[in-house]
């Protein structure tokens, strides 16, 4: 059954407009009487029947509402050093499918991509659209938040004070991600800080440890690409706490 992001919900009906309305009418050519699914990122999913379509919106009668178990039980944020090409897009798409709570693009010393001002805003808008498309594809009902591009000093205030921070670093040889997760509390948020193509400079890792209380961890003996490290680390965390596999 087709899924749509809804613009508003009342007790007996919900509305679809904008790009979602275009997709419903022009692409799928659905009409009154047909049943669809609607979600609004609140965690709920509504089954409805199209009642009326006009130029501004589609009005759908609510048949029933439910709370599907599609969201990860542990909150995991990805903080990803700005990377060039389609790498950020890949991480956002796959991170959404896997169950990340949100993503923060991070300016780092070795980031090849430089984003400021309007250019940064436009890129973040695109990334949010990619997350929205991935939500619909994978069946989730809450879209991961993609933050504005931040600097290191912005991080402490952006996530909850009780966030547990992890920073994969190729210089870490003794502590594995799984070993570190044994001492973490899965009821509290977690943040994985992933480096750009060239990795982190040691001073950045030291800052994360001192200012954020981050734990430096290893993802194994092989050097992973930035996008691989992000996807692998997220997968390990969710699998460790029983959300995958």
The answer to the question of residue 182 being in a domain is: yes
The confidence score (pLDDT) of residue 15 equals 95
The confidence score (pLDDT) of residue 158 equals 94
In terms of domains, do 35 and 128 share one?
no
Residue 194 is part of a domain; what is its CATH number?
A: 3.40.1280.10
The answer to the question of residue 104 being in a domain is: yes
In terms of domains, do 40 and 144 share one?
no
The answer to the question of residue 212 being in a domain is: yes
The confidence score (pLDDT) of residue 84 equals 83
The confidence score (pLDDT) of residue 143 equals 93
The confidence score (pLDDT) of residue 91 equals 97
Q: Which of 66, 93, 111 is the last residue of a domain?
A: 66
The answer to the question of residue 71 being in a domain is: no
In terms of domains, do 51 and 165 share one?
no
The confidence score (pLDDT) of residue 162 equals 96
In terms of domains, do 42 and 121 share one?
no
In terms of domains, do 57 and 126 share one?
no
Q: Which residues of the chain have pLDDT under 50?
A: none
In terms of domains, do 120 and 207 share one?
yes
The answer to the question of residue 179 being in a domain is: yes
The confidence score (pLDDT) of residue 216 equals 95
Structural domains counted in the chain: 2
The confidence score (pLDDT) of residue 116 equals 87
In terms of domains, do 178 and 80 share one?
yes
The answer to the question of residue 128 being in a domain is: yes
In terms of domains, do 92 and 39 share one?
no
C-alpha span between 235 and 64 (Å, rounded) = 33
218: containing domain? 76-240
The confidence score (pLDDT) of residue 152 equals 96
Q: Model's pTM, two decimal places? A: 0.89
In terms of domains, do 101 and 10 share one?
no
HEC per residue, the chain: CCEEECCEECCCEEEEEHHHHHHHHHHCCCCCCCEEEEECCCCCEEEEEEEEECCCEEEEEEEEEECCCCCCCCCEEEEEECCCCCHHHHHHHHHHHHCCCEEEEECCCCCCCCCCHHHHHHHHHHHHHHHHHHHHHHCCCCCCEECCCECHHHHHHHCCCCCEEEEECCCCCCCEHHHHHCCCCCCCCEEEEECCCCCCCHHHHHHHHHHHCCEEEECCCCCCCHHHHHHHHHHHHHHHCCCCC
The confidence score (pLDDT) of residue 245 equals 73
Residue 21 is part of a domain; what is its CATH number?
A: 2.40.240.20
In terms of domains, do 31 and 95 share one?
no
40's CB contacts (< 8 A; 6+ apart) are 5, 6, 8, 9, 14
C-alpha span between 168 and 171 (Å, rounded) = 9
pLDDT digits (tens, 9 = 90+) for 134-158: 998 898 999 999 999 999 999 999 9
In terms of domains, do 124 and 38 share one?
no
C-alpha span between 193 and 83 (Å, rounded) = 13
The answer to the question of residue 155 being in a domain is: yes
The confidence score (pLDDT) of residue 103 equals 98
Q: Which of 17, 42, 66 is the last residue of a domain?
A: 66
In terms of domains, do 105 and 221 share one?
yes
């Amino acid at each position: 059954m087709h899924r749509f992001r809804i613009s508003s919900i009342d007790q007996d009906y919900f509305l679809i407009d904008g790009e979602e309305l275009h997709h419903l009418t022009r692409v799928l050519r659905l009409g009154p009487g047909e049943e669809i699914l609607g979600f609004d990122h609140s965690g709920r999913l509504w089954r409805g029947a199209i009642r009326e379509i006009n130029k501004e919106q589609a009005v759908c009668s609510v048949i029933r509402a439910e709370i599907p178990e599609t969201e990860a039980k542990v909150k995991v944020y990805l903080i990803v050093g700005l990377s060039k090409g389609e790498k950020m897009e890949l991480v956002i798409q796959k991170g959404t499918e896997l169950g990340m709570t949100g993503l923060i693009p991070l300016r780092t010393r070795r980031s090849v991509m430089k984003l400021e001002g309007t250019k940064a805003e436009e890129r973040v808008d695109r990334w949010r659209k990619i997350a929205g498309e991935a939500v619909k594809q994978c069946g989730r009902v809450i879209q991961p938040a993609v933050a504005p591009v931040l600097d290191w000093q912005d991080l402490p205030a952006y996530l909850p004070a009780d966030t547990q921070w992890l920073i994969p670093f190729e210089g870490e040889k003794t502590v594995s991600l799984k070993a570190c997760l044994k001492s973490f509390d899965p009821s509290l948020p977690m943040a994985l800080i992933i480096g750009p193509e060239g990795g982190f400079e040691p001073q950045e890792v030291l800052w994360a440890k001192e200012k954020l209380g981050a734990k430096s961890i290893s993802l194994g003996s092989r050097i992973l690409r930035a996008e691989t490290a992000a996807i692998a680390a997220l997968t390990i965390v969710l699998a460790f706490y029983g959300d995958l596999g």
